Structures are given as C-alpha cells and as structure tokens.
Structure 1
Amino acid sequence: MPVWASDAPAATPLTAQRYAAQLGVGMDVDWARTERGIREFDPLAVRDFHDKGLGHIRIRVAGEINEQKLIHLRKIVEACEQYGVVPVIAYQAETFKSDPDRENEAKVVAWWSETARYFGRKHPLLGFDLIYEPAERLNHNPQALNRLYDKTIKAIHAVDPQRMVFVAPRLHAAPEDLANLKLPVENRGYVLGEWHIFAWGPQKVNGKYPWTSGTAAEKAAIRERINAALRWQQKTGRASWVGGWSAGQSTKAAPSASTLAFANFMACELQKAKIPYALNADNLFYDGEEGAWRPAMEPLLQVMLTPECAAGKSVVKPAGHAAVRGAPAAASTAG
C-alpha cells in the first residue's frame, strides 16, 4: 500500500482527499487517443496494470466526442472497475489551447457535457481531467482558462454533483501556477488540482539539465516545486495529483544509474508529500501488441512504483523488487 493510502472504512463518503488517497501510483495510457492505442486495447491489460501495482490510469483522449468514442471509453472504464483500477478521462482540447475564444470554449463545454451525460451518475470512481496540459495561447490568457473551468465544472456537476473533476493550471500544468486558478466554491469537495513535473524528464532547459548527479541544489529545486503544490493544497483545502511524469524517453536501452537515481528521488518526494502521480506513459513500459511488460524498463518501473526512501535519502533498489499495490483493494483477475 502506498505511504499515503487511506485506511478509512469503505462506507466513508468519498471526498476529493479520500479519492486522491485511492489513486496511488498510476499511468498515462493512449487506449482512447491514438489509432494504435485504440486497436491494441485489451481489458486484460488493465488486469496486468493492477497486478503490477498500479492504482489508476489516465485515459488521454483527443478529437471530437461521438458515440463510438464514448462506447470505447465505457469499455475501458468497465475493465477498470472489474480489476480494481481507478479510471480518469483526460481531454487534450487542442483547438481551445491554440485559440481560446468563445466558440472553442463552447465546444469544450459541450464535449464534457456530452461525456458527463453519457456516464451519468454511474462509475463513481471515474474522474474527469478537463484539459491535458494547458499551454500555447492559454499561457497568456489565464482568464479564458478559468472561465472555461467554471462553466465546465458547473455543467458536469449539474449531471452528477459528486463527479471528481481535475483542473490544471497554464504553462503545461506548472505547480507554481495552481495559485492562479479561480475555481467555483460549489462542490469544493469534488474538484482537485492536476499538475506536471518532468513529464519527459529530466531534459535540458536552456542548455542545462535540471538533474545531473542529484546535487543538493537540484534536489532543492524539485522539492520547491512540490512544495508549491502543497502550499496551494493547504491554502485552498483541495487535493492535487501529478497527471504525468517520466524518467525515461526510450524503450530501446536500459535506464542508466543516473536515471534510476532521479526516478527514485522523485517518487520518494511525491510519496512523502502524499501526492498521487501517474507515470508517463504506457507504451514506454508496456507492449500493447504483445500484452506484456517491457523487460528492459522493469528496473525503472519498480523504482517509480516503490522507491526506497530512508532518512531523507533515496536509495535505488535492485531490479525485481516486489511492487506494492497502488489499488485500494484487490480485485478479481478472472478474464
């Protein structure tokens, strides 16, 4: 069980904080975004994710919503329920990010309204992540982002007042910008923050790597970004979730010692802060065509799932260390 896991009885009403505690460690998936991801989706992959120790999946979706796409999303959600994995639907909203005018705003609200009506009040653990990484012109127009969130949250909660909704700030969901979100006070207990840190990291920034050997300064910089999210949580009373971070960019080579050290440190710090997170992304760790985990990435996956943390230090464990389940309870594995 993750270090932040809730020990509350099952009958306790679900709140944003209790929902976040159930998420644990998850993974971003393209099972409803790319042609290959849609084609390769198999409910047994959800079983494999659960058995590996993953507690949730972030289902990335692009393009217009339609009946065919909704039916496919329902299949994924139902597989998650069968195998004890929490599903979160995340919408890319590319048109709105590139041109956040009123017309494109209305399209996003309509996208989520239709999705909300389709699922109704069923699947209580299903979460809605309103915009995947707000960026582009939204970086300079926080008013448009806040206006969209206000309208979309109200539309979703008009269908299901207890639907869990995630909202991300601009600048590719920078934790420092959570403070600039203006969220409706209604149904406060069902709206969470979503943010990113090193979604493909660590990569060069202005010609320099933000992580080399794990110096004190490098570790302090990471902790400060996590602390920005914690300050927002404390001030607002809301929970938050890292919608995606990664310590590897290639499936062709085994992760280096530096990559493993970075991954272990990051996972330790997020778990100490009791902030759930999703790993980026499924095709890095899992071969959908073969229906099997990629052996070369197993050491990295284990470190990101179950890091070893002691006295403020991160220690990389050997490959093959048993995973701790991220899901709140065991589920049937009948396929």
Structure 2
Amino acid sequence: MIRYFTRSVQLCLFQTLLLILSSGLPGFTQPPDDPIDPIAYAAMIGTGFDVGWAQFPGVMNNYTEQVVIDYASEGFTNARIRTHFDLSPELLVHLDSVVTHCLRHGVLPIVAYESEEAEEDPTRTNLEKVVKWWGDFAFYFRNHSHKLAFNLFIEVTHTLGDLPPDTLNLWYQHIIPAIRESNPDRILILPPRGAYPEGLGSLVVPPETGYYYMAEWHDYAGGPTKLLSPDKLHKRWTTGTEIERDQIGISIETALEWTVQTGKPTWMGAWMAGKLNEPDYYTPEEECIFATHMVKEFARYQMPWSTNAHQHFYDVSTLEWLPGRQLLLEALKGKYLEEANRMFLYTGLDYNGRMKPVEIGFYDYDFLERYDLADQIRSAKIPWGFVLETFSDPGFTGNKQVITGDQSNLDGIPIASFKFRDIAFTDYVLGTGNPSNVTQGYAYPNPFCGQFRLMLEPGEEVSVRIYDLRGRCLFMTSGLNGTDVLAPGLEEGMYLLKVTSPTEEWTQSIICT
C-alpha cells in the first residue's frame, strides 16, 4: 500500500530520523568542549584547501580517512568542506565521517553550503529551503565539537549577489535563528554579497547571531588573470609588477577595516594559486611566484586562508598527491619564502653578468672586495616589501640612496656599503596628516617607533586608536587640532591605525619597529 504524508508529517519524520542518527553519537547531550572565541578560532584556522569531499560524487565514493591523514601530514590545518546537495540521511552520515576524521587528525572542519537554485532564484520558497537545510544540518551536528564551524554560503553570487544588500541581510535574519535553536554558541561564518571584502561593510548581522561569528571573503577564487579588461584589473598578474603585488594587500586591508569596526575577524576562504582550471595559462614557475607572494602577504597580515582547490593537488582515487603539482604545493607551504626574502646583485645591466644572492643584513666595503663587487654592481632584483639602502662611502656614510624595487640600471649610483632589510625596519617614520601608501617612496606600510604627532586643520577634534590585527583596541587618545601618539609599549609588528575627526575617518596599517 502506498502511503501519502502531509508536509508537516514529512518534516516530523525527518526530524525524528535526525534525532535517531545523532543520538548514538558521543557527547549526545552537549558538545564535548567549550565555545571558542571568534578571535581564537581565526587564529586556529591557519592554512588549508577548499575540498570536494562532500561536493563531487566521484570524490565522495573514493573518500576514506586516509585522505585526511595525508592532508594533515602536509601541515594543513583547515578544510573548507563544500557541499551543494539536498540534505539526506546519506549525506549527513558522509559529512559526519568527514568531520570526525578532520577532528581526529587536527584539521578544523568548516562546512560551506551552496544552493545554486536559491541564489539564482531568491524567492521566499527557496529561502525557506535554505533555512530548513541549515536548521536540520545544525540540529544533527549540535553535539559535535565547537571546532566545527558553519560557513553559511560558499559565496553569495548569481541573482542573490546582484540584489541590494538588504536582501542578503534579510536571508540571514531567517537562516541564523534556525541554526541558533540548536547551536547557540557555535562559530558561524558569514560571507558578504559578491564574496569580495568590499561587501563586508553592507553586512547587517542579526542580533540572534550573538557573539560567536566571523566573516569569510575571497578573491582570486578562479586564479589571477593576464587580461586587461576593466572588471579583471584587480586580479591581474603578469610578472608581478608593483601594482599587481599591491592588490591582495588592498583586499586584506579592506577586510581588516571591517574587523576594526566590528571586533570580529575574517578569513580568506578561497583563492587559487594560478589558473589551475586552464592548463598552461601560467608556467609552473609563474604559479609558484604568485603563490609565494600571496602566502607571504597572508603571513604578513596574519590572515588565515584556504586555497582552491584540493582536487587540483590530490587524487582521492589513488590516495596520492599529484606529482605535477609538487612545486606549487611546496610554494603553498611556504618553501620559497626564504628565496623571496633574498636580493640578487648583478655585475651587468638588465640582470646580466655575475649574480650574487644577498640575505638581510648590513654589508660594508670589505664584503664588496671579498666578492669582487666593488664598483661592479650594475643592477639588482629587490623582493617586494624589502629595501636596498646604498651609501657612497664605506661605513654606511656618504650619499645615501633608497631603492625599493628592481633596478635594471644602477650606473651612476656609487655603492661602497649598503643595507638590505625589510621595510619594517627602515629609518622611515610615519608622516603627519593623512598618511598614504607611498608617503616615502614605495615604503609601505609606514613604520613607526611607537610615537608620532598627528596634526589636522585648526578647530578639529581628532581621536586615534591603534588595533591589533584581530580587532582588539590596544591604545586610544584624542585632542584638539591634533594629538601626540605615545605607545611605547607596543611590540614589534603590524597594527591598524584608525583616525576619526568630524570631517573624515580613515584606517591604515602601520608597522611598529
């Protein structure tokens, strides 16, 4: 006999099944650990991949715990577990296995959901489907470790991403309470419309969210491009010019401004180390250079990340890392950062002649004599974020020149001693007024030694705050017409400076030396 059930009865049966499936799990009454502060959680995310372990049927059929063991053995600490299927008992059991394996092997599991149908056609009916998906999913996983986080969308694109931000905010007003019914203090990760960090400012987080949330944004999700089209310029990467290298820092700083405003951290949830969906678009060497720069910038700003995507590096059917991606995998792990921190001196123009690699340090005339470089340096390759300071006389005296980028022709610059060091440790000081990214040549961020004087127009009251990169306010002061900032207790490192006056407000990164 065929039995027909009403929708309410079907929902009741599914909830009962969820209860049966989850009741046999360890820690049935509550999660086995305490809630995790969002700032602490962001620090735990570290580095990882967007993974298809619950996204592609072929991958799901071949998935075993060994996949996570191999993953963790390479040092990756988070897995952004993407899925787009309707919720079913089979999917829940599979996701349960993946989450359990991640927790067992020290990998933070972050489940990200995508409903293309809802994003392409954001009707009330489709919203209800997404609310139900997250409500049922959250109910099933309510007793799992707080290390499991919920990333509410893989990315907000299609029609939903094109609509005014009020629409997405309305969706969050419905989705988040459905999750909080069973998970009152689990980390929820909210992406903005369009995925880019510029959209973070339009997020209105509903009060039901509570304390335990953060944001996810991404850029270069499909990799960089060589195209010159206006809508792709921020993703352009050819040889790694100054403008090209600057783009990821601009994106990160935009996200950090939101952190300053809200006190909540963000996570770079998807970027691709090359055009990996288009073979031969970049050479392996070009991919490694781009990836190394990205990894270096994320480390500089203490920004956790996941890269797109695991299937480009690992074959779940053979349980092997792909040999053709080994160089790029090593770049993601930071193997080439040391090389990126070296300067190369050449005895010929245009990087020809004998080449001498140089580590960070001070080099007097005896060094030049020892390596037959006295009066012989004619070009230099200087890595991004570093500076070459040349002196016309031994002992770091005489005429001084500051060089912050590759120089194909150094003729006419006498070099009898030189310093090669990170921009963070140069003698530059933060200027007055509204600092820009280039107040001292290419020196950026502008270092300061814990104190500076900020002056504005007469009659304007100014307040100054200094935050760490997790959004915690470490120093604040105010004054009329300007103020002296005296913060000698700050440790060396990067901070965010926020200045507010009646006529303007701006935030910029600064380095304390």
TM-score norm. by structure 1 comes to 0.85
Alignment-derived partner of residue 320 in structure 1: none
Question: How far apart, CA to CA, are the structure 1 residues paired with 2:91 and 2:228?
Answer: 37
1:242 paired to 2:268 = yes
Deviation for aligned residue 1:68: 0.8
* Structure having the higher Rg: 2
Equivalent residue number for residue 6 of structure 1 = none
1:65 is matched with: 87
CA contact (8 A) 2:34 2:146 kept: no
Task: Give the Å deviation of 1:221.
Answer: 2.3
Match of 2:448 in 1: none
**What pairs with 1:154-233 in structure 2 (closer than 5 Å)?**
154-171=177-194, 173-203=195-225, 204=227, 206=229, 210-233=236-259
Size of the alignment, in residue pairs? Answer: 304
Matched residue SS, 2:206: coil
Partner of 2:313: 285
Q: 5 Å matches for 1:232-311? A: 232-248=258-274, 249=276, 255-306=283-334, 308=337, 310=341
Q: Secondary structure at the match of 2:147?
A: coil
Matched with 2:47 is 25
1:144 equivalent to 2:167? Answer yes
1:1-30 Cα distance to aligned partner (Å, 9 max, x none): xxxxxxxxxx98621111111110011111
Which sits farther off after the overlay, 11-20 or 30-39? 11-20
Partner in structure 2 of residue 313 of structure 1: 384
In structure 2, the CA distance between the partners of 1:32 and 1:212, relative to structure 1 (3 Å rule), is: same
Which one has a larger percent strand, Structure 1 or Structure 2?
A: 2
Tell me the alpha carbon deviations over residues 162-189 of structure 1, each in whole angstroms, 9 at most, x when there is no partner. 1111111112x01111111110244543
Shift of 1:313: 3.1
One-letter amino acid of the counterpart of residue 221, structure 2: A
**Using the alignment, how far apart are the partners of 1:233 and 1:305 within structure 2?**
26
Partner of 1:78: 100
Return the structure number with greater helix share.
1
Q: Which of 123, 139, 151 is the equivalent residue of 1:101? A: 123
SS in 2 for 1:120: coil
Cα separation, partners in 2 of 1:305 and 1:251, compared to 1, 3 Å: farther
Contact 2:180/2:208, CA 8 A, preserved across alignment: no
Indicate conservation of the 8 Å contact 2:150/2:189, yes or no: yes
SS state of the match for residue 211, structure 2? helix
Q: Which runs of 5+ in 2 are unaligned?
A: 1-32, 342-359, 361-382, 387-513
Please say if residues 273 and 290 of structure 2, whose CA atoms lie closer than 8 Å, have aligned partners that are also in contact: yes
| C-alpha distance in structure 2 between counterparts of 1:20 and 1:143, whole Å | 27
Amino acid at match of 1:168: P
Cα pair 2:42 2:265 within 8 Å, conserved: yes
Corresponding position of 1:7: none
With 296-305 and 73-82 compared, the bigger mean Cα shift is at 296-305
Task: Judge conservation of contact 2:189–2:216 (CA < 8 Å) in 1.
Answer: yes
CA contact (8 A) 2:35 2:185 kept: no
Secondary structure at 1:116's aligned position in 2? helix
How much does 1:257 deviate? 2.0
RMSD of equivalent CA atoms: 2.2
Distance (Å, rounded) in 2 between the aligned partners of 1:251 and 1:103? 37
Secondary structure of the structure 1 residue equivalent to 2:51: strand
Please give the alpha-carbon distance, in whole angstroms, between the structure 2 residues aligned to 1:292 and 1:94.
31
Question: Per the alignment, do residues 70 and 314 of structure 1 end up closer, same or farther by CA in structure 2, a change over 3 Å counting?
Answer: farther
Distance 1:152 1:231 in 2: 26
Does structure 2 retain, via aligned residues, the 8 Å contact 1:175–1:228? yes
* Residue 250 (structure 1) shift: 5.1
Rate the CA distance shift 1:202–1:182 in 2: closer, same or farther, 3 A: same
The Cα offsets for residues 6-59 of structure 1, whole Å up to 9 and x where unpaired, read as: xxxxx9862111111111001111111111111121111101110001101111
C-alpha distance in structure 1 between counterparts of 2:140 and 2:57, whole Å: 22
Residue segments in structure 1 that go unaligned for 5+ positions in a row: 1-10, 316-335
CA drift at 1:118 = 0.5
Percent identity, aligned pairs only, is 33
Aligned to 1:118: 140
CA contact (8 A) 2:284 2:328 kept: no
Cα distance in 1 between the residues matched to 2:34 and 2:183: 19
**For the Cα contact (< 8 Å) 2:176–2:208, is it kept in 1?**
no
SS of 1:275's partner is: coil
> Do 2:215 and 2:267's aligned partners in 1 also have CA atoms closer than 8 Å?
yes
The offset of 1:241, in angstroms, is: 0.8
What amino acid maps onto 2:253 in structure 1? N
Q: Secondary structure at 2:181's aligned position in 1?
A: helix
Aligned amino acid, residue 166 of structure 2: Q
- CA–CA distance in 1 between the matches of 2:278 and 2:126? 37
SS in 2 for 1:313: coil
Change (3 A) 1:79 1:170: same
**Which structure exhibits the higher relative contact order, with contacts defined as CA atoms closer than 8 Å and separated by 6 or more residues?**
1
Pairwise CA distance, 1:255: 4.6
| Aligned counterparts of 2:332 and 2:190: Cα–Cα separation in 1 | 24
